[in-house]
């Protein structure tokens, strides 16, 4: 059941007991595909305020968090979860027909999930989810079937205040603030991501033993009380409808720093005498956690970040009043109909959706499956990244689906300060697993620092921030937001739309000014 070997070897009797328990668990899992695993317990509502540990621009580069250690299968360009898949039957398909179709592939449906218009089905044996999905897709009663592809945040973090935020002048944000200073608190932006450092509290987890991708084994830490705090430069009283689809509760704490950094670009408190600025610093933020990271794995979260989780998160955000939904995430592999359907639902409910264009230009430039369908939806845009020199970031994926470009940072051309600077978790106190085992301790999520990150994730957050400003101006139609973002973009690269920059680099002031009769 576990994806990686534990450290200590059990004795023979214990093996028998464990085997019996495992068999029982397997049977149960067949009936209930997502069972409760790790436990996250709020042991205290209070914690000391977040600790600001300053600017971190001189650290040596640290590797990006790459995986949560689950059992993944390498598919065609993307990893996916073994043992289950996502299926949507056509409306009107009788339950008996559904069961019969699933029986043909030795699959059983689980309980219906909230915020989902699809089923998660469990596969018996070692059947390959991609192969089974292809078989099911051929059935006339099946609208789509897909593997549960893993999603990941779109960033390449680097350890490395306003004068350092070259990204805002690049898209004329300062003059845009002359028109609309930070947007309205009536606008809600959903950060569908790894969570956000949105409040204080102490949570009790059980940290299991695990093995890092490079084979290093880490011991179980047992029960640990982990302190959390709201990021000081985000504020604590502007968050609405928080939801965690990884832990299935309303405490979407960020255990990696990605979501908090993205939220900072969208709405970091500004003009407050500390730290850095954000695009739309008056809007409210909705933290929706759909991506699991290392500590979620170590704490054995019950859910994981796959297409179904993302789709549910998007639907939740739309149903709970988000006008802008930021998706600084994505994946390659096969198409993503569940997520597409969720985005269409969100747009039809008045939400403007922004998705990362991808970071794989240097690694095969595979098609980004979430960004891929953005051009077909009026009210959703995919975003490429630019560096400090206004050129496409070296890593930023290219393709016909790229619709806009925004600052994402580029360490390869801008050095350590070539990224996007925002406040996030102090990664030294979070990524205790990144170094030797001797330095492995329980993490803390109540200390913060200013880090430069790069990635189309960061670019996406700029577009979401601008969309929030437009919404604050009364442009509430997602299609209209998309139209003005494109009409006002600064054309870069080949004249007209191109595969590197789409319609061009967003221009915040031009977008907010809108169009006059003659100009």
Partner 1 sequence: MTARHGRPVALAALVCGALVVLPPAAGAQPRTPVTRPAAESTVRVRGVVEAGGRTFTASESFDAVLGSHAGPLFGAGADVLVGRTLFVSFGVSRFQKDGERVVVAGGEAFPNGIATTISIVPIEVSAGWRFAKPGRTVIPYLGGGVGWHRYKETSDFAAADEDVQFTKAGFQLLGGAEWRASRWLGVAGEAVWMSVPNAFPGGATSAAGVLGEDDLGGAVFRVKVLIGR
Binding site for partner 1 (CB under 8 A): 175, 178-179, 378, 470, 473-477, 479-484, 486-488, 512-519
Distance CA 237, CA 199 (A): 9
Q: At what angle do helices 456-472 and 478-487 cross, to 10 degrees?
A: 110
User: How far apart are alpha carbons 132 and 146 in whole angstroms?
Assistant: 8
Dihedral sign computed on CA atoms, order 331, 337, 338, 339: positive
Polymer length of the chain: 519
Closer CB to partner 1, 291 or 471, in the complex = 471
CB of 354 to partner 1, least distance (A): 16
Q: CB-wise, 346 or 449, nearer to partner 1? A: 346
The dihedral sign for the CA sequence 254, 317, 39, 69: negative
The nearest distance, CB 179 to partner 1, in angstroms, is 5
Measured CA to CA, the distance from residue 213 to residue 352 in angstroms comes to: 37
Residue 367 or 469 having the CB closest to partner 1: 469
- Shortest Cβ 485–partner 1 spacing (Å): 9
CB 218 → partner 1: shortest distance, Å? 52
Task: Please identify, using beta-carbon distances, which residue of 220 and 480 lies nearer to partner 1.
Answer: 480
Q: Would you state the structure tokens that stand for residue 368, as one six-digit string?
A: 């980004």
Closest approach, Cβ 281 to partner 1, in A, equals 19
Report helix, strand or coil for 136. Answer: helix
* CB 512 to partner 1: min, Å: 7
Confirm if 442 and 245 have CB atoms less than 8 A apart.
no
Which residue do the tokens 């085992």 mark? 437
Closer of 394 and 487 to partner 1 (Cβ): 487
Computed on alpha carbons and rounded to an integer, the radius of gyration of the chain in Å comes to 22
Q: Cβ closer to partner 1: 298 or 475? A: 475
Nearer to partner 1, 215 or 516 (CB): 516
Least separation in angstroms between residue 139's CB and partner 1 is: 37
Nearest-angstrom CA–CA distance, 452 and 132 = 42
Cβ nearer to partner 1, comparing 172 with 294: 172
- Cβ closest to partner 1, residue 349 vs residue 513: 513
User: Which sign, positive or negative, has the C-alpha torsion 341, 343, 344, 346?
Assistant: positive
- From the CB of 476, what's the least distance to partner 1, in Å? 8
Q: How far is the CB of 177 from partner 1 (least distance, A)?
A: 11
Phi, psi values for residue 166, rounded to 5°: -60, -20
- The dihedrals phi and psi of 285, each to the nearest 5 degrees, come to -115, 140
Closest CA relative to residue 428, chosen from 164, 49, 59: 59
What is the closest distance, in whole angstroms, from the C-beta atom of residue 516 to partner 1 in the complex? 5
Backbone angles phi, psi at 395, to 5 degrees: -90, -15
Between 20 and 515, name the residue whose CB sits nearer to partner 1. 515
Query: What whole-number distance in Å separates Cα of residue 261 and Cα of residue 422?
Result: 6
d(CA 447, CA 231): 8
């Amino acid at each position: 059941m576990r994806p990686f070997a534990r450290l200590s070897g059990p004795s023979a009797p214990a093996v028998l007991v464990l085997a019996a328990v495992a068999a029982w668990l397997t049977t149960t899992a067949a009936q209930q595909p997502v069972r409760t695993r790790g436990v996250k317990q709020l042991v205290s509502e209070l914690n000391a305020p977040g600790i600001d540990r300053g600017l971190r621009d001189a650290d040596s580069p640290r590797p990006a968090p790459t995986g949560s250690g689950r059992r993944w299968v390498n598919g065609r360009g993307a990893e996916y979860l073994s043992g289950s898949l996502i299926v949507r039957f056509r409306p009107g398909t009788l339950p008996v027909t559904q069961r019969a179709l699933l029986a043909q592939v030795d699959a059983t449906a689980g309980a219906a999930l909230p915020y989902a218009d699809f089923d998660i089905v469990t596969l018996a044996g070692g059947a390959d989810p991609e192969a089974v999905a292809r078989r099911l897709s051929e059935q006339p009663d099946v609208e789509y079937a897909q593997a549960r592809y893993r999603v990941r945040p779109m960033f390449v973090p680097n350890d490395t205040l306003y004068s350092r935020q070259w990204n805002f002048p690049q898209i004329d944000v300062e003059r845009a603030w002359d028109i609309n200073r930070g947007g309205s608190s009536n606008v809600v932006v959903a950060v569908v991501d790894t969570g956000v450092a949105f409040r204080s509290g102490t949570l009790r987890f059980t940290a299991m033993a695990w093995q890092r991708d490079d084979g290093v084994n880490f011991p179980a830490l047992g029960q640990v009380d982990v302190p959390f705090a709201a990021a000081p430069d985000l504020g604590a009283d502007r968050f609405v409808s928080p939801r965690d689809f990884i832990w299935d509760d309303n405490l979407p704490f960020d255990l990696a720093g990605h979501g908090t950094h993205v939220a900072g670009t969208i709405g970091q408190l500004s003009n407050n005498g500390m730290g850095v600025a954000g695009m739309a610093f008056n809007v409210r933020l909705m933290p929706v956690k759909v991506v699991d990271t290392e500590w979620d794995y170590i704490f054995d979260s019950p859910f994981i970040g796959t297409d179904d989780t993302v789709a549910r998160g998007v639907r939740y955000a739309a149903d709970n009043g988000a006008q802008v939904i930021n998706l600084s995430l994505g994946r390659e592999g096969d198409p993503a109909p569940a997520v597409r359907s969720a985005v269409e639902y969100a747009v039809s409910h008045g939400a403007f959706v922004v998705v990362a264009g991808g970071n794989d230009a240097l690694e095969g430039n595979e098609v980004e499956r979430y960004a891929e369908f953005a051009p077909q939806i009026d009210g959703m845009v995919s975003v490429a990244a630019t560096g400090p020199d206004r050129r496409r970031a070296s890593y930023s994926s290219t393709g016909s689906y790229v619709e806009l470009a925004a600052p994402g940072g580029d360490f390869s051309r801008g050095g350590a300060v070539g990224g996007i600077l925002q406040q996030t978790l102090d990664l030294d106190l979070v990524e205790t697993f990144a170094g030797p085992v001797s330095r492995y301790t329980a993490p803390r999520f109540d200390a913060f620092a200013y880090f430069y990150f790069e990635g189309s994730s960061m670019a996406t957050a700029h577009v979401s921030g601008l969309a929030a400003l437009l919404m604050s101006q009364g442009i509430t139609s997602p299609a209209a937001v998309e139209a003005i973002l494109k009409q006002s973009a600064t054309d870069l690269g080949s004249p007209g739309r191109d595969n590197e920059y789409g319609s061009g680099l967003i221009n915040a002031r031009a977008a907010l000014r809108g169009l006059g009769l003659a100009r």
